[in-house]
Structure 1
């Protein structure tokens, strides 16, 4: 079986690593990939949103299955284009991908299908948004409607900050056309968590839980990032909560897909706030979360390609999905200054000295003059399994001491 993975980050490395350990997979390509992915797949010099050239490569090389990692090609309609040519591709189509591509589309879907979420209103007029901003209370959540590389959500603490944010999004075009429309929401108090699920037309099957740490510094301090580390399972994900989320969120979401004739096949990431009134949905993403994937796939026992094939054939309900009992942790090593300005091109050393049971997923790396160098804000995800999250975390932190690059930064409380 020949597989093409689209993307070049830690999530895609985790997918490639998992597939590389599966018997029926004979060849993996990745576009564009990175230095770590190149150890388990052939990397291609094709951008992950260059749909025409990705399609051309898949046809010319008789690719059996394409797996889409990031959201941009999904929102641009890569699945529709591949399917028109009779190619097998894993991910939701363009219409379904609006759940991530448009915050307004997403909120309208939730309200229409009685899925618990924060109260909200959409605005395309700056003056109207400013005149009504007080009605939401503070802090308030302001979201650019379109894709903004994970940075289009701001939580101002007061009116002054809120007006500044609205102006930046709507008139200064800080996030380009993504801010032509904004969604303003009430701020929800509670514990944030998320769940990844496999979805076909008949079933929605949650994966094991994972906890993501978004803030750049220990104890949830500092600005939001794309994720500083994860562990699985999440400590708050009790059997009781799992049942509540299945009934109030996942089942209603699947029913919503059916009622709206949305042919959703792929991964659904559900961001949740566990409030005093129960779980409420913050957002949907239409692909594997990063870095949750690194922890979750590290525990997945069943072959990933078998699950994907079952989904494409609407046969998910007949697959037994098993996970290792061991618990997993992934700690992100980032470039100094991330998530703001950071350097690229710093030499990385020490990976060859790590314990055998440590797996390092590359998020932002490349090879320059035969040397491994940093090539992003998030650089490496150091990952391990053990009997408990705490044990896995201790193992990781012992090994991180052996890794070095200029400006290296990481949190020291993930899983601790």
Structure 2
């Protein structure tokens, strides 16, 4: 097989690293890739503009058998739809399904309508109304930009003053651009966070190993929210009984409700969880492999990744199983600033 990976980060490096080990694979391309990836695969500079026509041309011209989309933005902008229209095999959800990550308001509505456990919330487009709400609530909250923000759009409001500052950043000052046209104000859940990842073909869901990432920029869970400063796998907080509960009360209800809405979800569903005293609740959904969680999941994966991804595309994931190394994996992010 000839495989194309879209993306340029550590997540895509981990995906390429795992894929090149498959006996099914003869060539791996990565667009745009990075210097580390170029050591194990072929990187190419191909535009993702112009409705993804150039990258689709690249896949056709290089006889790519499967394209794997790493980042959320191409998914939200419809890359999978373009590839499917041109008859190209691609792993990842369509634009219609990717909205589960691209709009937090959509995701929260979906959860409420389908009794999927999550934090209480309100959505606002007017800053004054949002500020009045947090003043009346007078308790710690999370203030979240509705759209994609590279993992930085969720701002803790530990005090009313912090929450007001976050509201102004998003709705008044436009720190997150069009992603901040709406703001979600969510109760601050108490518990331990964990990352729960499943592969799905739209019907069957196969859970992967658990992980926990650490998002705050400074030690002791202090500082700004980031895309992730590090991760480890497995996450001991997710026991077998909690995994069963997550699959039954969160994962399958989500996949079924998306299909019922005409938004069949195929690919990776990442569930950011808070393990509370009353059980697991959803913090967020992502429509792709987590970063940096992928960097600790794939080194533990014994099974060949490629047949698993093919099964998601072909609709026969129920025929696959997955095997993991018992050792723990840890990833630390090096970042400036």
Secondary structure of 1:324's counterpart equals: coil
Deviations 1:166-192 (A, max 9, x none): 122112111111111111111111111
| 1:135 CA drift (Å) | 3.9
Deviations 1:233-278 (A, max 9, x none): 1121111211221221112212212322321110011001111111
Question: Is there any run of 5+ residues in structure 1 with no aligned partner, and where?
Answer: 338-416
Matched, 1:26 2:21: no
Which residue of the partner structure matches residue 75 of structure 1? Answer: 76
Question: Is there any run of 5+ residues in structure 2 with no aligned partner, and where?
Answer: none
**Higher radius of gyration, 1 or 2:** 1
| Alpha-carbon spacing, 1:333–1:13, altered in 2? closer, same or farther (3 Å) | same
Note if contact 2:196-2:211 (Cα within 8 Å) is conserved in structure 1: yes
Distance 2:247 2:177 in 1: 36
Which residue of the partner structure matches residue 273 of structure 2? Answer: 272
| 1:134 CA drift (Å) | 2.6
Secondary structure of 2:96's counterpart equals: coil
Which residue of the partner structure matches residue 392 of structure 1? Answer: none
Which residue of the partner structure matches residue 6 of structure 2? Answer: 6
Note if contact 2:150-2:227 (Cα within 8 Å) is conserved in structure 1: no
**Number of residue pairs aligned between Structure 1 and Structure 2:** 336
Distance 1:220 1:174 in 2: 23
Distance 2:177 2:95 in 1: 21
Note if contact 1:6-1:48 (Cα within 8 Å) is conserved in structure 2: no
| 1:48 CA drift (Å) | 5.2
Distance 2:221 2:125 in 1: 33
Q: Which one scores higher on RCO, CA 8 angstroms, separation ≥ 6?
A: 2
Deviations 1:264-311 (A, max 9, x none): 110011001111111110110000001110111111111111001111
Distance 2:226 2:105 in 1: 23
Distance 1:12 1:71 in 2: 12
Identify the structure with the greater helix proportion: 2
| 1:139 CA drift (Å) | 1.3
Distance 1:254 1:241 in 2: 18
Note if contact 1:31-1:48 (Cα within 8 Å) is conserved in structure 2: no
Note if contact 1:145-1:181 (Cα within 8 Å) is conserved in structure 2: yes
State the superposition RMSD in angstroms. 1.4
Distance 2:223 2:186 in 1: 22
| Alpha-carbon spacing, 1:133–1:217, altered in 2? closer, same or farther (3 Å) | closer
Distance 1:119 1:48 in 2: 37
Distance 1:19 1:121 in 2: 42
Distance 1:272 1:34 in 2: 31
| Alpha-carbon spacing, 1:129–1:217, altered in 2? closer, same or farther (3 Å) | closer
